[in-house]
Chains A and B, each alone.
Chain A
């Protein structure tokens, strides 16, 4: 249970980090919070030759909230982003990420790049239609939309030599509510299944659009656009989800859970959207 040997690099700025990453290519791995990478090293599931430790890149420790959304830098830890209170769905997702102590070190962008199919933050990014910014030495950074970013279990569009420098979570439109529900065997474990929902109401407070993202039921977050037909949430999810069974839960149970959680998430999001619409009307 010790990491295999590697060369440790501690660049002082982004330019240096990108140079080192470019040199290491596929033999390099970026270390930010380390709350997923170090267990993988300890269990010898990963054995990179070069670890590029970005913990000195304070320029990436940023949470910027604007009218269009929130941009989270690669070194912003879960706890800090949650404390900033800048996005309702992000806050709801972060409360479900592991335990408070893990959230003191783990980073939001790191969770996205890790791309665990049962993790909450990829679903939050996917349901909101957010994006990840990837930088490489000697080239302009590129923004990859969530729909293209998650490519498989623990796989993303990040190429060797690239660093995910930030992620953008779009702001919610008016009269919008969100919710995140999940079921896990133990508090703080990865979920057996989970669903987050974003619901927007029209001027007459009827549901105009409802979008869900499900976790634990496929290789990447499953986004389901319900349009105005939010009452079909459970059926719509069960028609599209293709979960695998494992020692923790059978495929059939996961499918059942996904449906129940979809209904709960969308109902809660509708309630919150009504509450928010009332507050917005009063303001």
Chain B
């Protein structure tokens, strides 16, 4: 009764095929079927935000998405954020502002913030806090993450 499904995901620009049961979470498909372990799995019920990836450019919880549901869609994981020139502006800002300590939550933050800055290139403190409210970080106390988002906005503005 639980047939496997042949799916194709465009992950970080490359078409990837996988054979998955209906119940395979996108987070597990990325990590176990495709070997992309940059996407971290924390709570597996949508609270912590570690597993956030971009689905057609929009941040979503990969632990609350079935892989079969997104057959044929474009996924960007943390592995796909850096360009040919190295780290992305958001990644550089996080490093520069010390916006991570243990790093477990960081892939989710980077994906969320990348999308946030596309929608709001110069966000206010309040918009940043609302934007990252679905991502938990137990180390930083968030202050440096908010700073990093402002810094990333500057870097993006300089480069455009």
Per the 8 Å Cβ criterion, residues 56-111 of B in contact with A are 58-61, 63-66, 68-69, 71
The residue in chain B whose Cβ has the minimal distance to the Cβ of A33 is: B64
CA distance A38 to B130 in the complex (A): 24
The contact string, 1 if C-beta is below 8 Å from chain A, for chain B 1-36, is: 111010000000000000001110100100000000
A98 at interface (Cβ–Cβ under 8 A)? yes
Q: Which residue of B lies closest to A53 (CB)?
A: B69
- Across-interface contacts of A98 in B (CB, < 8 A): 134
22 A-B residue contacts at CB 8 Å? A2-B44, A5-B2, A5-B23, A6-B23, A8-B23, A10-B68, A10-B71, A31-B69, A35-B46, A38-B64, A38-B65, A41-B23, A42-B44, A49-B1, A53-B69, A100-B59, A100-B130, A100-B131, A101-B52, A101-B61, A105-B60, A188-B133
**Within the assembled complex, what's the spacing in Å between the Cα atoms of A178 and B63?**
35
- Shortest C-beta distance, B25 to chain A (Å), equals 7
Q: A87-110 interface mask toward B, CB cutoff 8 Å, 1 = contact, 0 = none? A: 000000000001111101100000
* A4 interface hit (Cβ, 8 Å): yes
In the complex with contacts A1-B44, A43-B45, A102-B134, A6-B64 CB distance below 8 A: no
Quote the shortest CB–CB distance from B18 to chain A (angstroms): 14
Tell me which of B25, B60, B66, B69 contacts A101 (CB under 8 A): B60
Given contact pairs A39-B64, A99-B133, A101-B49, A55 touches B21 in the complex (Cβ within 8 A): no
Give which listed residue, A6, A34, A51, contacts B65 with CB less than 8 A: A34
B positions within 8 Å CB-CB of A: 1-3, 5, 21-23, 25, 28, 44-46, 49, 52, 55, 58-61, 63-66, 68-69, 71, 112, 130-131, 133-135
Query: B59 to chain A: closest CB distance in Å?
Result: 5
Closest 6 CB pairs of A and B: A8-B22, A99-B134, A1-B44, A39-B45, A3-B23, A5-B2
* Chain A window 8-35, contacts with chain B (Cβ cutoff 8 Å), 1 for yes, 0 for no: 1010000000000000000000010011
Given contacts A1-B45, A2-B28, A105-B61, contact A38 B131 (CB under 8 A): no
Closest to A95 in B: B130
A246 to chain B, nearest CB (A): 18
**Are B23 and A105 closer than 8 Å at their CB atoms?**
no
Residues in A whose Cβ lies below 8 Å from that of B5: 8
Residues of B within 8 A of A7 (CB): 1-3, 22
Q: A2-B28, A51-B22, A99-B134 are in contact. Are A104 and B69 (CB under 8 A)?
A: no
Contacting residues, chain B, for A10 (C-beta < 8 A):
68-69, 71
Give A99 to B58 CA distance when docked, in angstroms: 13
Contact A38 B46 (CB under 8 A): yes
Complex CA distance for A99 and B68, rounded to whole angstroms: 24
Q: How far is the CA of A53 from the CA of B65 in the complex (A)?
A: 11
Is the CB–CB distance between B22 and A6 below 8 Å? yes
Q: How far does the Cβ of A258 sit from chain B's closest Cβ, in whole Å?
A: 25
* Whole-angstrom distance between the Cβ of A97 and the nearest chain B Cβ: 11
- CA–CA, A4 and B1, complex, Å: 13
Q: Which residues in B have their C-beta under 8 angstroms from that of A43?
A: 45
Task: Give CA–CA (A187, B13) in the complex, Å.
Answer: 35
B52: chain A residues at CB < 8 Å are 101
Which residue in chain B gives the minimum CB-CB distance to A5? Answer: B2
Given A6-B2, A41-B23, A102-B61: A53 in contact with B68 (beta carbons within 8 A) = yes
- Chain A, range 129-160, C-beta contacts under 8 Å to B: none
- Asked if B64 and A2 sit within 8 Å, CB to CB, the answer is no
Contacts of A53 in B (CB 8 A): 66, 68-69
Contact of B66 among A38, A39, A99, A104 (CB under 8 A): A38
Cα of A10 to Cα of B49 in the assembled complex, Å:
27
